[in-house]
Structure 1
């Protein structure tokens, strides 16, 4: 718990390749008393993902704090990609005293102070829909990192747009970002990437939701029912529609750093590098 709030870290789960890195950081922070439970929301296909599913079940057998969550029964979203089903997960997140920390299953690094700083900010600022950390490989975060002089503009300027041509679509730019972060991790200087302040995000600003903190009290009181998002697509709800309906900006927190591995536009570049192996080695050390 943090400040008498239960902390649940949850992930739309599907890929053992990267989740096997993330789980090491979550295990570290469970051991440190910062995270109470870890949920894997099973966003998997029954055919073709047998190994991914088996790994999640192995974790559930190994750790009593690791829970498997499933799509609610009786809801048919039609012929939509499975990513659209993640909005249904919030029906599980209605404990008014809990902070829910959402992480993509390809978050491959969590700084040792990130969870505590992000959750405390979430508790201290209850009005925003979502509070985001500094996410390495997130276009809007890269925009602010450049604004604060942390990422060179010579690599290509990044605008305030979640699908910016450099910050989202440029694989070579992503490689440089990961190399920058890894150099700081290895030197013990990750805090040099902190932003000099928190930045409010104008309501309606779409933001890639690879990681954010939210409150169970918000979901418990939604007008459509506990945990029922309207619209049910989680990124649209958290970064566009709900901030616009409340008039309250989301917050980019400057003193919490995580790393998001890749967008689909970057796979070809990143998969040719040894960067994921370097992240895996660091994660192994986190629980050694």
Structure 2
């Protein structure tokens, strides 16, 4: 718990390759008393992802704080891309006394202060739909990092657009971002990448939701039913529709850092590096 609020870290789960890194950081923060439960919302295909499914069940057997969550009973699988099924996950997140932390399953680094700082910001600022950390490899975050002099503009200028060609699709740029963070981690200087302040994200601005904090009290009081998002696409709801409905901007928190590994246009570049091995080594040391 943090400031008398339960903390649940959850992930739309699908990939053992990267989640096996994230879970080590989450285990560290469970053992530190910062996280109460970790949920894997199963968003896997029954064929072709057998190893991923087995791994999730192994974690559930190993750790009493790790739980598998599934699409709510009676809700058919979405006919579109399987990512659309994640919008149904919020029907599990209606405890008014809980802060929910969403992580993509390829978030591969959590700074040791990230969860505590993000949750405290979330509690202090109840109006935003979502409070985001500094997400390394997120286009809008990269824009703010450049504005604050943390990422060189010589690498390529990033505009404040979630699918900016440089910040979202450019593989060599993503490699440089990860190398920058890893250098700071290895030198013990991650805090040097903190932003000078929190930044509001204006209502209606689409933002890649690789990681954010939200409140169970918000989902509990939704007009179409507890946890029922309308529209049910989670990124659009959290960054466009609900902020426009409330008039409250989302917030980018300046003192919480996580790292998101890859958007699909970046895969060919990142998969030919040793970056994931370096992140895995750091994660293993987190619970050594």
Smaller-chain TM-score bracket: over 0.9
Deviation for aligned residue 1:65: 0.1
What root-mean-square deviation, in Å, do the aligned CA atoms of Structure 1 and Structure 2 show? 0.6
Contact 2:78/2:85, CA 8 A, preserved across alignment: no
C-alpha separation between the residues in 1 aligned to 2:165 and 2:212? 23
Paired residues, number: 288
- 1:203-254 deviation per Cα after TM superposition (whole angstroms, max 9, x unaligned): 0000000000000000000001000001000000000000000000000000
Q: Could you say which residue in structure 2 is the equivalent of 1:181?
A: 181
Decide whether aligned partners of structure 1 residues 92 and 146 sit closer, same or farther in structure 2, where only a CA change above 3 A counts.
same
Deviation digits for residues 64-109 of structure 1 (CA, Å, limit 9, x no counterpart) = 0000000112223552110000000000000000000000000000
Return the TM-score normalized by structure 2.
0.99
Contact 2:8 2:99 survives alignment (8 Å) = yes
Say yes or no: does 1:204 pair with 2:212: no
Q: Provide the residue aligned with 1:119 in structure 2.
A: 119
Partner of 1:5: 5
Match of 1:140 in 2: 140
Aligned residues of 2:78 and 2:84 also touching (Cα < 8 A)? no
Distance 1:252 1:137 in 2: 14
Gaps of 5+ in 1: none
- SS of corresponding position for 2:173: helix
The 10-residue stretch of structure 1 (68-77 or 269-278) with the greater mean CA deviation from structure 2 = 68-77
Q: Which residue in the other structure is 2:80 paired with?
A: 80
CA distance in 2, matches of 1:79, 1:213: 28
For residues 82-140 of structure 1, the C-alpha deviation after alignment (integer angstroms, 9 at most, x for no partner) is 00000000000000000000000000000000000000000000000000000000000
TM-score (norm 1): 0.99
**Residue aligning to 1:97:** 97
| Aligned CA distance change for structure 1 residues 151 and 215 (closer, same or farther; 3 Å) | same
2:217 maps to 217
CA deviations 1:140-185 (Å, max 9, x no partner) are 0000000000000000000000000100010000000000000000
- The answer to whether 1:41 aligns with 2:29 is no
CA distance in 2, matches of 1:264, 1:101: 23
Partner SS for 1:101: strand
Corresponding position: 1:230 with 2:230: yes
SS at match of 1:163: coil
**3-state DSSP class of the match of 2:165?**
coil
Equivalent residue runs for 1:247-266 within 5 Å = 247-266=247-266
Give the structure 1 partner of residue 26 of structure 2. Answer: 26
- For residue 276 of structure 1, give the secondary structure of its aligned residue in structure 2: helix
> For structure 2, which runs of at least 5 residues remain unmatched after alignment?
none
SS of equivalent to 2:24: helix
Partner of 2:64: 64
* Corresponding residue of 1:154: 154
Measure the CA separation in 1 of the matches of 2:114 and 2:128.
19
3-state SS of paired residue (1:39): strand
- Judged with a 3 Å threshold, the aligned counterparts in structure 2 of structure 1 residues 103 and 78 are, in CA distance, closer, same or farther, namely closer
Deviations 1:237-276 (A, max 9, x none): 0000000000000000000000000000100000000000
